[in-house]
A and B are shown apart, each in its own frame.
Chain A
């Protein structure tokens, strides 16, 4: 099949053995020399090796999966340090540094949790419910006699609620009040614009004016001061919108402007799309939320745009 007479599969096996040895075994200078000799033997060795080597480097991106896999799964036991919220206290946060702190407002007692830009946090409650906070998010939690109550002050959170009809779980965001009907849902708040997506169970949505609406799985409500619109989203769309929970952004026919805005939520380095024409270009793919560089790379290498870095700003133009 080729000059060396070996099949492509045989060469690929040898190439993979070299990479395994280099990466996981002891490696010294003589090994280096041996590898070089093998690479020089035939261009087909070099091609097979480069292909695996480049791919394996890319597989380094998998390290972002680590966070998701090693998420602790503590049992729900009440902490001793916070007697003030006996039934409804937080049992585990991952990185204590990202938690801004907690304070009391009485009555009733409230606890505040916040993440900074790029942060992500899981707040576990003794009743088994958990709240996952996305980047730049702040919530307050209170346990009252007849209900559990959360205020989303800014950002985005994903709620997995242990349903208890006698003790409903209520989320306040802006002028909207959500009551769980046994459920998993996400709420994203941008000023007074709210985006509520139900992935399981149901949620009752109420505003100060107008009748209550029940949202079913797959339904997304967009609430603004001027009204509420409800639409149905594809399952994959809903899943993509929650990809931040694994630390990634998934784009599918997303305009450059929207993609840049997403990145800007997670990073101090801000992307600026200088030209409204290119802002409408569409891209697709999966990026770690912090991979601003990768996004710039795609803009430059695939879309052939101009990328200029200026301090914490990345300007993209034609």
Chain B
């Protein structure tokens, strides 16, 4: 498969005749894109010096891919995602007129990221339970307790508050934090654990 070097993606990959519904795009996003998050994060971390930008870069890439999918699903989601990421990085470099040397130097090598064999993806996609368990164990104790009572035992916010002897507001905060951390690990974290919290 010859790799494209241009930065124009619009309309080139769409094959669907009718435009997908929001629910279809959401399902597609979960099935095709989110399992690639670990690779995408690695890619961004490897190619963008300023780590504080990465959450925003990822979000911007997702929005673009999602937007495109609303018009018709890209035929090769992985390639589409990484080409979008690459184009965004190039645009940022040009726009900001700042040239992080290492970013530019690596951009040519980036194409390789879309050629990772799909078995790799199987592991990423299906290793969830183990990741979740590890993620749960790493949460601060109160957060872990709230998430365990809520998600695993199925208690409501009020019931959790009673059990833990704290206010419902505090429980809500624990849960919000738990949701974000768990999902970061589920999708974003590679097996070599980082993100010290």
Which A residues are closer than 8 A to B by beta carbons? 1-2, 7-9, 11-13, 16-17, 19-21, 23-25, 43-44, 46-48, 50-56, 58-66, 69, 248, 250, 282-288, 294, 298, 301-303
Contacts and interface: CB of A to CB of B under 8 A. Distances in A.
Contacts of B176: 13, 16-17, 20
B122 A62 contact: no
A282 B183 CA distance: 27
Contact of A56 (B22, B58, B66, B183): B183
Contact of B122 (A43, A46, A302): A302
Interface residues of B, number: 49
Contacts of A55: 34, 182-183, 186-187
A273 to B, nearest CB: 16
A8 B175 contact: no
Contact of B127 (A20, A284, A301): A284
Contacts of A285: 122-123, 125-128
B34 A54 contact: yes
Interface in B93-122: 118-119, 121-122
Contacts of A282: 119
B194 interface: no
B132 A59 contact: yes
| SS of B interface (majority) | helix
B180 interface: yes
Contact of B129 (A13, A43, A248, A302): A248
A54 B119 contact: no
A93 to B, nearest CB: 23
A287 B122 CA distance: 12
B157 A284 contact: no
B50 interface: no
B70 to A, nearest CB: 8
Contacts of B118: 302-303
A2 B56 contact: yes
Nearest 7 CB-CB pairs, A to B? A285-B126, A55-B183, A8-B59, A54-B30, A24-B157, A284-B123, A1-B56
A24 B121 CA distance: 32
Contacts of A65: 129, 132-133, 136, 152
B55 A9 contact: yes
A150 B118 CA distance: 46
Contacts of A48: 59
A43 B66 contact: yes
Nearest to B172: A20
Contact of B59 (A1, A20, A56, A59): A1
B62 to A, nearest CB: 5
Contacts of A25: 156-157, 168, 172
Contacts of A7: 55-56
A64 B122 CA distance: 21
Contact of A23 (B60, B67, B150): B150
B19 to A, nearest CB: 15
